[in-house]
């Protein structure tokens, strides 16, 4: 086993992880020479992974290639040495105060005598006095009243503190609601048991509530998904019907426009023919005016006058789009969507 002198050479900083500020647990050594708890450095690198480059939290050296973490065996051995020489209060053995040559483990401690007793000395002790006994302990100061230096035997319910006999009879806790520490501890344990039971029942209720909420969450997500599909299908159908209605309306407008345009073009063709005919007649009139002989002039004039009588006034029809019919067609198409 390592000696105390070997462990005393360890500095505090050599044993403390820079990240958690606790004694190293499974220390690993980075390529830059710094040590960390394995769990601590893995958590840091997990957060740094999003940046794509991991670094040492101590010196900030970027580690381009993350190699498998290697335990610092030398530091692990020194920590094992430290643990081997540390003894906690629970591990310390309480020995009988009266066993001189060969100390035997104590089975009880007398708070009044401030001594620990093995089985043999306990029988002798109990034959002469009736003192308060407790489990073996080396920490008697915590079981004595700081003010009166007497063993603590009672518990004051009014102030919630452990007290001695003098505290109850003539001290600060006179006339208070007091009882023995054993009775008080038993009652407190019962209260804790009831509180523990309430917490357990409450946790069961919480678990049921969480389960119900999770189930409701799933059903809500499924219902939302179904509704989204229904709405998507409905709007797809509406778009298709709208396109059909649009095509019908546009076809109706085009048909109405063709009717009006055909009418206008027909009138234009008739007028063009009329214009050509009139130009021919004008030429004949100009020729008649050039005849100086009255008889030929009058004979030809009669023919020209007859043609002139056939020359009527120009009449046109102002045809236009029937927008009312177009509007009715459009509304008829939209009505199919409702």
pLDDT in tens, 7-22: 445 556 678 888 887 8
How far CA 334 is from CA of 1, 108, 239, 271, 321, in Å, comes to 96, 99, 11, 42, 21
**CATH placement of domain 4-85:** 3.30.40.10
* pLDDT tier at 56, thresholds 50, 70, 90: confident
CA quadruple 190, 191, 192, 198: dihedral, nearest 10: 110
Lowest mean pLDDT among 110-114, 195-199, 227-231: 110-114
Q: What is the pLDDT of residues 115-142, one digit of tens each?
A: 888 988 888 888 788 887 878 877 666 6
Cα distance between residue 308 and residue 290, in whole Å: 18
User: Which pLDDT belongs to residue 130?
Assistant: 80
- Which range among 105-109, 115-119, 193-197, 245-249 has the greatest average pLDDT? 193-197
108-185: what fold? Answer: Double Stranded RNA Binding Domain (3.30.160)
Question: What is the pLDDT at residue 9?
Answer: 52
pLDDT at 92: 66
Q: What does the pLDDT read at residue 3? A: 42
**283's tokens:** 């030429």
Closest to 138 measured CA to CA, from 163, 111, 118, 119: 111
Q: Residue 312 is encoded by which pair of tokens?
A: 């009527």
266-288 mean pLDDT: 89
Beta-carbon neighbour count of residue 53 at 10 Å? 10
The per-residue pLDDT of the chain, averaged, comes to 82
> Which of residues 293 and 225 earns the better pLDDT score?
225
Residue 114 has pLDDT above 50, yes or no: yes
- Structure confidence at residue 2 (pLDDT): 39
Asked whether 143 and 111 are in contact (CB, 8 A), the reply is yes
């Amino acid at each position: 086993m390592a000696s105390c002198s070997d462990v005393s050479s360890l500095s505090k900083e050599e044993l403390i992880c820079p990240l958690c500020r606790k004694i190293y647990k499974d220390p690993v050594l980075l390529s830059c020479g710094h040590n960390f708890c394995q769990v601590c450095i893995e958590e840091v690198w997990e957060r740094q992974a999003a940046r794509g480059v991991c670094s040492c939290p101590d010196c900030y050296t970027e580690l381009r290639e993350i190699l498998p973490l290697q335990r610092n065996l030398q530091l692990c051995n020194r920590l094992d040495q430290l643990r081997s020489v540390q003894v906690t209060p629970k591990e310390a053995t309480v020995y009988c105060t009266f066993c001189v040559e060969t100390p035997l483990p104590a089975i009880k401690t007398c708070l009044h005598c401030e001594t620990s007793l093995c089985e043999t000395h306990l029988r002798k002790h109990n034959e002469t006095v009736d003192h308060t006994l407790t489990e073996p302990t080396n920490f008697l100061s915590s079981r004595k009243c700081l003010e009166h230096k007497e063993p603590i035997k009672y518990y004051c319910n009014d102030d919630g503190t452990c007290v001695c006999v003098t505290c109850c009879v003539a001290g600060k806790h006179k006339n208070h609601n007091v009882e023995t520490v054993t009775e008080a501890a038993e009652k407190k344990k019962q209260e804790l048991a009831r509180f523990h039971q309430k917490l357990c029942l409450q946790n069961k209720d919480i678990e049921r509530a969480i389960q119900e909420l999770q189930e409701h969450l799933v059903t809500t997500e499924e219902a939302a998904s179904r509704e989204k599909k229904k709405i998507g299908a409905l709007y797809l159908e509406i778009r298709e019907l709208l396109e059909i209605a649009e095509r019908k309306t546009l076809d109706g407008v085009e048909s109405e426009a063709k009717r009006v345009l055909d009418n206008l073009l027909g009138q234009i063709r008739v007028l063009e023919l009329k214009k050509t005919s009139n130009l021919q007649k004008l030429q004949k009139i100009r020729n008649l005016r050039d005849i100086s002989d009255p008889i030929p002039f009058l004979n030809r004039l009669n023919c020209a006058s007859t043609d002139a009588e056939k020359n009527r006034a120009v009449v046109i029809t102002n045809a236009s789009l029937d927008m009312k019919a177009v509007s009715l067609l459009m509304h008829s198409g939209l009505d199919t969507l409702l």
